[in-house]
Amino acid sequence: MAGRIRRSELDEVDRALVAALRQDGRASNVELARRVGISEKTVRARIARLAEEHGLTVTAELDDPRHRSRMVYLVETEPGQRFPVAESLADRPEVTRVHLVTGSADVLVAASFPDDAEALRFRARALDAHPGIRAAHPCHLIHEVGAPARGGRPAGPSVDTETLAALMIAPNPHGGFDELAERICDAVTDGLGADRAMITTARPGDRDRPAAPARRRGISEPYFEALTARIRDGRIEGVIKRVWDTRQHVLVADARVDPLMAAAHDLVVAEGYVTLLTLPMLYGPTLLATVSLYYDRPMSVGDEYVATAQGVIDHFAVGMARALGLAPSPFPDAQR
């Protein structure tokens, strides 16, 4: 038939691309090419063909911790009202999904709310009072199992080796702490794929060094001050404090629920990050600083990535020791 799109058969490469996109819909074509073992040009061509011939789409789903009450409603409509009811409910901000279904119900509605009280108000105002709805049967979602769009295990951070190489090959800056800290933050966010970064040169809550230099990128002042105050008051141990005490890295897969952050879950949710990795920066036996990497979505951080990140941080240790006055400058005349 003229004008009809010819659908090609899916092969193993197509299926591998789809699986990779299910695992991480934000992955770049370069990253997809690395995972599947094909060229970036082939990835672009395959994705274009899959979208045109097979209707491939990549969707986004927000896992908002503020929406603690999730509901599904099986809605029975009055005769001839199925489509008007579905369209009116789809326009409501609480509703995340609407499906036309067969069987005992006519419309399936999924919605999210801050609490059960809001869910009850939605049912009374949007469903029970709707003239086109005969009955609505609510189901409270308690757990999601095997969501295909999330691909099970979260994806890992994307490492840009070219950016890291450029930052590490270049001579360490001699403009003091601020210039060096900026380069370390560049390595963390641009090279190691973190969304935010923080460098601290004193144990949190240390009253003897209240003015110790620090650098934050993407971490707010209110969060930092509130967290430091809770550590100082003994309400929370804190990840950074633990690294200062143990001189070992600490990885928190989900800071919103991890027991180590139990007294700061509200701060974490308000700040908006999920996974946290904090690394020590050592100069010989001296702990110079901690470098924290923050990720705004769940990340699968493996041993290889941690080793890479620690190697990057170690690279800057000599420069940090000089910036803090703990190691001699290679240009002593420049400091006179």
CATH number assigned to the domain comprising residue 113: 3.30.70.920
pLDDT digits (tens, 9 = 90+) for 164-191: 888 888 776 556 888 899 999 999 999 9
Instruction: Provide the residue range defining the domain that includes 36.
Output: 12-54
Tell me the C-alpha distance between 297 and 173, whole Å. Answer: 32
Examine the fold and report which residue of 92, 111, 144 is the final residue of a domain before the chain moves on: 144
pLDDT digits (tens, 9 = 90+) for 238-266: 788 889 888 899 999 899 888 888 888 99
Would you say residue 50 has pLDDT above 80?
yes
| Residue that wins the pLDDT comparison between 215 and 1 | 215
In a shared domain, residues 97 and 25:
no
In a shared domain, residues 121 and 208:
no
In a shared domain, residues 267 and 292:
yes
Tell me the C-alpha distance between 29 and 335, whole Å. Answer: 47
In a shared domain, residues 172 and 318:
yes
Using a pLDDT cut of 70, give the percent of the chain over it: 84
Asked if 8 and 48 touch (Cβ cutoff 8 Å), the reply is no
| Residue that wins the pLDDT comparison between 41 and 149 | 41
Would you say residue 60 has pLDDT above 60?
no
In a shared domain, residues 139 and 25:
no
In a shared domain, residues 207 and 132:
no
Tell me the C-alpha distance between 256 and 262, whole Å. Answer: 8
Residue 86 DSSP SS3: helix
- pLDDT-derived band at 214 (thresholds 50, 70, 90) equals confident
- pLDDT-derived band at 334 (thresholds 50, 70, 90) equals very low
What mean pLDDT do residues 201-212 have? 64
Does 62 fall in a domain?
no
In a shared domain, residues 85 and 39:
no
Would you say residue 229 has pLDDT above 80?
yes
Averaged pLDDT of the chain: 82
Would you say residue 150 has pLDDT above 50?
no
DSSP 172: P
Task: Give the number of domains in the chain.
Answer: 3
Does 60 fall in a domain?
no
In a shared domain, residues 184 and 281:
yes
In a shared domain, residues 75 and 194:
no
In a shared domain, residues 228 and 288:
yes
Report pLDDT for 228: 82
Would you say residue 158 has pLDDT above 60?
yes
pLDDT digits (tens, 9 = 90+) for 267-291: 999 999 999 999 999 998 899 999 9
In a shared domain, residues 293 and 251:
yes
Report pLDDT for 4: 42
Name residues whose C-beta falls within 8 Å of residue 258's C-beta, 6 or more positions apart in sequence.
252
Would you say residue 15 has pLDDT above 80?
yes
Asked if 127 and 133 touch (Cβ cutoff 8 Å), the reply is yes
Does 1 fall in a domain?
no
CATH number assigned to the domain comprising residue 236: 3.30.450.40
Report pLDDT for 32: 83
Query: Can you read off the two tokens belonging to residue 264?
Result: 């700061």
In a shared domain, residues 237 and 268:
yes
| Residue that wins the pLDDT comparison between 63 and 213 | 213
Report pLDDT for 107: 92
Does 3 fall in a domain?
no
If phi over 0 gives left and psi between -120 and 50 gives alpha, with beta otherwise, what is residue 274?
Answer: alpha
Name residues whose C-beta falls within 8 Å of residue 214's C-beta, 6 or more positions apart in sequence.
198, 199, 200, 201, 202
**Which of 93, 270, 298 has the alpha carbon at shortest distance from 195?**
298
CATH number assigned to the domain comprising residue 50: 1.10.10.10
| Residue that wins the pLDDT comparison between 137 and 149 | 137
